Structure 1
Amino acid sequence: MTAESSEAPERALDVLGALHSTPARRYLAPDPIPESVLWAILDAAIRGPSGGNAQGWGWVVVTDDEIKQRVAAWYRENWEAAYGRRREEFLSGAPTGGLSRRGFLGADHLARHIQEAPVWVFAVLRDAAGSTNPRTGSSIYGAVQQLCLAARAYGIGTSLTTLYGGHEDELRELLGLPADALTMALVPMGYPAKGRWAQPKRRPVEEVVHWNRWGVQRSRGAEGGA
């Protein structure tokens, strides 16, 4: 097990500290995650919000190599179709309007090694299979983020992906899901094998925040707060 691993949180992280230092971690070691830690992370995840507090969710924890290998093949198929075939373009460093070179390398590594992550968690929503509501996932994504933040407290890396898509019926059978259920995300989990806990780079908050109407922006610290 890596030096970062522990059956107790690595340190007391305050809420904002965790929020500012939980990037997607795509280089994951195969070291096992203690079951007690996994339970603690899942218990924190289910404290997240759900629509109407209905908690119409389920969490499928996958450690079985046969399941992983099958899903990983779908994942790589989708990765190649969407990004992998443009490898040279991304690695050239030329503006692509999508992934940066570094971002591509991390995502490419995950696509090729996702089955090595010791634990996968599928976030599953009930009564969602026939939904046409584009906001259906809002009933579980808050809890998914809590899963990622709780993992962060234990030094465990995560990333949220849906790139296995297009095989939902096969996945439903593989995981034994109820007919009304739909997976909303896959979160591979593992102790980081590369990289560090750092604040993800983002566009300045002033560029993406609009006040009362789209296009109305102000400088940070300007008078007339909400």
Structure 2
Amino acid sequence: MTDPADLPLLEALHSTPARRYLATDPVPDEILWELLDAAVRGPSGGNSQGWGWVVVTDPDVKKRIAGWYRDNWDRAYGRRRDEILAQPPGAPGLSRNGFLGAEHLAEHLEDAPVWVFPVLRGAAAATDPMTGASVYGAVQNLCLAARAHGLGTSLTTLYRGHEDELRELLGLPDDALTMALIPIGRPARGRWAQPRRRPVEEVVHWDRWGATRTRDTGAADA
């Protein structure tokens, strides 16, 4: 664990990649409460706070959900293993290292000491594509708080397709929908590094789509 006071905010924002190789050491309850307390400071539409947070440490519950996860992993990515690993460096999409990390998570998901499911009330029958807007800011708060404590996280929805079974397994209200699965633990491999992304200049548009600007970095270098 690390001291959160030692990590500047912008450094955390730039160095919180998905950490998929996690040690099995338990996460102390007092730290977990701090992460969740940071999560609920996130925004929600109209300050409705229609969320709940299900913390899972039960091995039997994790084992059942991990089975669904692996089935979905195999259908979405596992069958393309050779194809993905043969891609040249810099190719778009999942990199070789990214694939291997995601594969490891799929194979060892239940070994992560604690999982958190963000749950949104009233979302079970939602058709509004903006529904998740009222929870994902809080989810990022959770991940950043974990980073501050030296804990790794990743955000995945690859368990989906078993929502009714999951609702029963977790005892969720009928109107509730899980919005993600976040495994949390001490990183066992890798490092805190800036995630690989397209240059910001390629994806920012000014006043209308397609209107771009050259980024002036002179002030930052002065």
Same fold? TM cut 0.5: yes
Cross-structure match for 2:187: 192
Alignment of 1:39-54 (within 5 A): 39-54=33-48
Residues 56 and 79 from structure 1, CA distance in 2 versus in 1: closer, same or farther, beyond 3 angstroms?
A: same
- Aligned equivalent of 1:73, options 67, 88, 94: 67
Unaligned runs of 5+ in 1: none
Q: How big is the shift at 1:91?
A: 1.3
1:164 pairs with 2:154: no
Distance 1:10 1:191 in 2: 15
Deviations 1:157-202 (A, max 9, x none): 0000000000000000000000000000110000000001111121
- Provide the residue aligned with 1:118 in structure 2: 113
* C-alpha separation in 1, matches of 2:192 and 2:63: 28
**Corresponding residue SS for 1:185:** coil
Out of 7, 16, 21, the position equivalent to 1:22 is 16
What SS does structure 1 have at the residue aligned with 2:26? coil
Structure 2 match to 1:103: 98
Which residue identity is paired with 2:54? Answer: V
* C-alpha distance after superposition, 1:8-50 (max 9, x if no partner): x255212111101100000000000111000011001100101
Q: How far off is 1:98 after superposition?
A: 2.5
Q: Aligned letter for 1:108?
A: E
- Counterpart CA distance in 2 for 1:200 and 1:151 is 16
Unaligned runs of 5+ in 2: 218-222
* Corresponding residue number in structure 1 for 2:220: none
TM-score, normalising length: structure 1: 0.93
Distance 1:28 1:82 in 2: 22
The one of 125, 128, 131 equivalent to 1:133 is 128
Quick one: which amino acid aligns to residue 189 of structure 1?
A: I
Match of 1:62 among 56, 60, 64: 56
| Partner Cα separation in structure 1 for residue 76 and residue 88 of structure 2 | 17
Structure 1 ranges of 4+ moved more than 4 A? 94-97
**1:148 matched residue in structure 2:** 143
Distance 1:213 1:10 in 2: 39
Q: 1:203 to 1:97 in 2, by over 3 A?
A: closer
Which position in structure 2 is the counterpart of 1:181? 176
Q: What is the TM-score with the length of structure 2 in the denominator? A: 0.94
* Distance change >3 Å, CA 53–CA 10, structure 1 → 2: closer
Q: Which of the two has greater helix per residue? A: 2
Cα RMSD, aligned residues only: 1.3
Percent of aligned positions with the same letter in both sequences? 70
1:33 to 27, 45, 48: 27
